[in-house]
Structure 1
Amino acid sequence: MSNAIKVESPLNYFHGSFNKSSTPDSLFNNQVDCDLVIKEAPLSAHLNLRGDASDSHFCAAVAEVLAVALPLQPGTYQRNGDSSIYWLGPSEWLIVQEGADPASLEAALRESLTGHISIVDVSGGQTCINLRGTAAVTVLKKSSVYDFEGWDGATANAGSVVQTTFAKASAAVSNRSDGSYDLVIRRSFADYLAQWLLDAGGEFGCRIEQG
């Protein structure tokens, strides 16, 4: 008898969900075109990092472990492959590495970093979703109090991240160079946000997929 524990992502039961308010029920399927596609990232390592941004050794060590430069400008992030580092404050960052083991990543950082630092594993409390499609920025604008004017297009504000509200839940929203948007959200709000997005995106056609 296997004792293996089945691990499911926060939006596991929403994968394949579809809504288009102007389409008859009989046509509700994944073949209908959608202007808003939501993809949930695979289970990932989410680490909160604190350290001295003015310490060149600290910045270099982080870059060496993650192969991503530590963002030092407010409201920016850096991404390379499946690894992202988000600026949260003058001495605070969020590291997200898709599909990675958080314990192994934390151990690698602790081995390389010296001095006064803090690394907290927050993987169990967060997840990341990606919004893409022609209606993505429209839904983004009507979902938040932040002014996303100018975030349209593949290069506008690419590399930016803001900490704001999204459908009354907290989120870190970033703009990728391919014109899509990543949202880091609390796991406890994932179910609510999935249902909210399906409703808000219904007028455009909205589908939730596994990343």
Structure 2
Amino acid sequence: MDLNPRGAVKSESPLAMARVNVALASSARDAGVVVREKPFLGHLVLRGNAQDEAFRGGVERVLGLALPLALGPVARDESRGVSIQWMSPDEWLIVVPAGLEFEAEAALRRELSGHYAVMNTSGGQTVLELTGPKVRELLMKCTPYDVHPRAFPVGKGISSVFAKGSAVIRRVDEERWELVIRRSFADYLYSWILDAAEEFGVFVAPAEPAGSAERRIVREVAVEGH
């Protein structure tokens, strides 16, 4: 079932009702931390046997990325907006561009066999992108996980306590991080981040729009070989 059909159905980001009540920097150039939501991305939870070669091969044929087998680097193709993150020995988080979650899920179901599960959790999560020279200092105020480069190099992703909730933390490059947060925590964690970042100068950038060209590219990948 397509849980996010296009048409007259109204979609709202988990942060649709969030309120900004801190002193914001006048521009991204003046800010130590820039916060941008990346709403409406496709989020899939995949469960399966990582020791099964057929399972690993099926995922790679559909998504064009090798399945990560341990905590550490997130498998990612920036040009197509596709990523796979190890969450536990038999669980992965797949993120695809907006509108491609149904196609990606259907392609995985066609390609995989045996004991596995694919769940569309797109409506229950959103992504916050944090950029700027003070992001690491911000994260040090929010999570007990060590975000020093020696423990958290570029490419790594983990799930951890964040404020008084939880978040998936991913380091994309030197000054760019992503937080995957649940809808139920979204307003609280967003407010926490803005308050914690205020001392560094925080700027809220417009939410990142989804592009139709990107959707076409990933759709071709999602049905590759079929």
Tell me, yes or no, whether TM beats 0.5. yes
Q: Sort the Cα spacing of 1:133 and 1:32 in 2 relative to 1 into closer, same or farther, 3 A.
A: closer
Amino acid at match of 2:147: F
1-structure distance, mates of 2:118, 2:173: 28
Alpha-carbon distance in structure 1 between the residues aligned to 2:28 and 2:61: 44
* Aligned residue among 64, 68, 82 for 1:67: 64
- The alpha carbon displacement at 1:149 in A equals 2.2
Deviation string for 1:159-190 (max 9, x for gaps)? 21121111111111111135311111101111
Distance across 2 between alignment mates of 1:204 and 1:106: 41
Q: Give the counterpart of 1:208 among 183, 204, 210.
A: 204
AA at the equivalent of 2:158: V
Q: Which residue of 1 aligns with 2:101?
A: 102
CA contact (8 A) 1:20 1:204 kept: no
What amino acid is the match of 2:33?
Answer: L
1:162 aligned residue? 158
| Cα distance in structure 1, aligned partners of 2:66 and 2:16 | 32
Q: Which residue of structure 1 lines up, in the alignment, with residue 90 of structure 2?
A: 91
What's the counterpart of residue 195 of structure 1? 191
**Structure 1 runs not aligned, ≥5 long:** 22-27
- Superposed, 1:1-211 pairs within 5 Å as 4-12=8-16, 19-20=22-23, 29-30=26-27, 33-81=30-78, 82-150=81-149, 157-209=153-205, 210-211=207-208
Superposition TM-score, scaled by structure 2 size = 0.80
Could you say what the CA RMSD is over the residues aligned between the two structures, in angstroms?
A: 2.3
Q: Structure 1's 127 and 138: CA in aligned 2 closer, same or farther, altered over 3 A?
A: same
Shift of 1:201: 0.8
Q: Give SS of 1:190's match.
A: helix
Deviations 1:91-136 (A, max 9, x none): 1101111213322221111001111111111111111111110110
Given that residues 18 and 205 in structure 1 are in contact (C-alpha distance below 8 angstroms), is that contact kept between their aligned partners in structure 2? no
Name 2:215's counterpart in structure 1: none
Q: Which stretches in structure 2 are left out of the alignment for 5+ residues?
A: 1-6, 209-226
Deviation at 1:42, TM superposition (A): 3.0
Number of aligned positions between the proteins:
199
Equivalent residue number for residue 218 of structure 2: none
Which of structure 1's runs of 4+ aligned residues deviate more than 3 A?
12-15, 17-21, 28-32
In structure 2, relative to structure 1, the CA distance for the partners of 1:29 and 1:149 (3 Å cut) is closer
